[in-house]
A and B are shown apart, each in its own frame.
Chain A
Amino acid sequence: MTDQPATIEQVSEPRLVEAAASTTIGPVPASQPMEKSIYGFILRHSLKDQLFVVGLTAVSLPFYYLSLDLPKTIVNAINGKGLRETIDGVHLTQTGYLSLLCAAFLALVFVNGGFKYWINVLKGRLGERMLRRLRFELYHRILRFPLLQFRRTSPGELIPMITSEVEPLGGFIGDAFALPAQQGGTLLTAIFFLFVQDPVLGAAAVALYPLQGYVIPKLQRKVNQLGKQRVRTIRTLADRVGESVGGIQEIHANDSARLQLADFAERLGRIYEIRFEIYQRKFFVKFLNNMINQLTPFFFYSIGGYLVIRGQLSFGSLVAVLSAYKDLAAPWKELLDFYQTKEDCRIKYEQVVEQFQPPGLIDRSLQLAEPDNVPHLGGEIAVSKLIYSEDDRAHILNGVTASLPFGPHIAIVGSGSSGKSEFAMLLARLLVPSAGRIMIGGQDLNQMPYAVTGRRIAYVAAAAGLFAASIRENLLFGLKHRPVVPPTYDAATAKRRHKMLVEARRAGNSDFDMQADWIDYGRAEIDDSAAMTRRLLEMVEFVGMEDDIYHLGLRGRLDVKRRAEAAEGFVAARKALAELLVEAGMAHLVERFEVDRYNTNLTFSDNLLFGTPVDDTFAPARLASNPYVLQVLDKVGLTDDLIRSGLKVAETMLELFADLAPGHEFFDQFSFIAYDELPDYRAILNRASAGIERLKAADRTRLIALPFRLIETRHRLGLIDDSLRRRIVEARQVFRDDLPEALRSKIEFFDPERYNEASSILENVLFGSIAFDAAQGSSRVQELVTQVLDRMDLCPVVSEVGLDYQVGSAGSRLTVTQRQKLAIARAVIKRPDLLILNEAVAALDPAAQQQILTALREHCQGMAMIVVLQRARFARHFDHVVVMEQGRLIEQGSFAELDHPESSMTQLIEAET
Chain B
Amino acid sequence: MSLLEEVELLRRVPLFADIEPAKLKLIAFTSERVTFDPDEYVFHQGDMGDAAYIIMEGDADVLIDGPGGARAVARVGRNEFIGEIAILCDVPRTASIRARSRVVTLRISKDLFFRLLTDFPKMSVTIMRVIAQRLENTTAQLRRVLAEAQLAEAEIAKAHSAEG
Binding site for B on A (CB under 8 A): 655-657, 660, 665-666, 669-670, 713-718, 771-775
Contact = CB atoms under 8 A, between A and B. Distances in A.
B145 interface: no
B35 A716 contact: no
Nearest to B36: A775
A655 B2 contact: no
Contacts of B3: 715-718
Interface of B: 1-4, 6, 22, 25-26, 28-30, 32-37, 40, 42, 104, 115, 119
Contacts of A714: 32
A773 B29 contact: no
Nearest to A669: B30
A773 B102 CA distance: 12
A771 B115 CA distance: 27
B32 A773 contact: yes
A673 to B, nearest CB: 13
B22 A716 contact: no
A775 B1 contact: no
Given A670-B29, A775-B40, A717 B35 contact: no
A664 to B, nearest CB: 8
Contact of A772 (B25, B28, B32): B32
A460 to B, nearest CB: 34
Q: Which 6 A-B pairs have the closest CB atoms?
A: A718-B2, A773-B33, A773-B35, A716-B3, A775-B36, A656-B26
15 contacts: A655-B22, A656-B25, A656-B26, A665-B115, A715-B3, A715-B29, A716-B1, A718-B2, A718-B3, A771-B35, A772-B32, A773-B34, A773-B35, A774-B34, A775-B36
A655 B29 CA distance: 12
A540 B26 CA distance: 46
Contacts of A655: 22, 25
Contacts of B36: 775
Given A716-B2, A718-B4, A774 B35 contact: yes
Given A665-B115, A666-B30, A718-B3, 13 more contacts: A655-B22, A656-B26, A669-B30, A670-B29, A714-B32, A715-B3, A715-B29, A716-B2, A717-B2, A718-B2, A772-B33, A773-B35, A775-B42
A76 B2 CA distance: 101
Contacts of B35: 771, 773-775
Contacts of B30: 666, 669-670
A315 B30 CA distance: 95
Given A716-B1, A717-B2, A775 B29 contact: no
Most-contacted residue by chain B among A669, A670, A715, A775 (CB, 10 A): A775
Contacts of A775: 34-37, 40, 42
Nearest to B104: A773
Contact of A716 (B26, B33, B34): B33
A781 to B, nearest CB: 13
A714 B4 CA distance: 14
Contacts of A717: 2-3
A535 to B, nearest CB: 40
A490 to B, nearest CB: 57
B6 A716 contact: yes
A399 to B, nearest CB: 53
B94 to A, nearest CB: 20
Contacts of B2: 716-718
Contacts of B29: 656, 670, 715-716
B9 to A, nearest CB: 12
Nearest to B111: A665
Contacts of B40: 775
A665 B109 CA distance: 14
A666 B109 CA distance: 13
A655 B115 CA distance: 18
A774 B104 CA distance: 9
A383 B153 CA distance: 83
B30 to A, nearest CB: 5
Contacts of B37: 775
A771 to B, nearest CB: 8
A717 B32 CA distance: 13
A301 B42 CA distance: 104
Nearest to B2: A718
Most-contacted residue by chain A among B6, B25, B33, B104 (CB, 10 A): B33
Nearest to B3: A716
Contacts of A773: 32-35, 104
Contacts of A657: 26
Nearest to B119: A660
Contacts of A670: 29-30
A660 B33 CA distance: 23
B155 to A, nearest CB: 50
Contacts of B28: 716
Contacts of B34: 773-775
A775 B104 CA distance: 10
A660 B115 CA distance: 12
A657 B119 CA distance: 12
A669 B111 CA distance: 12
Nearest to A656: B26
A715 B3 CA distance: 8
Contacts of B119: 660
Contacts of A774: 34-35
A292 B115 CA distance: 76
Nearest to B40: A775
A197 B143 CA distance: 128
A772 B34 CA distance: 8
A714 B106 CA distance: 11
A713 B6 CA distance: 13
Contacts of A772: 32-33
A771 B36 CA distance: 12
Contacts of B32: 714, 772-773
A185 to B, nearest CB: 77
A645 B28 CA distance: 20
A822 B164 CA distance: 82
Most-contacted residue by chain A among B4, B29, B30 (CB, 10 A): B29
A716 B6 CA distance: 9
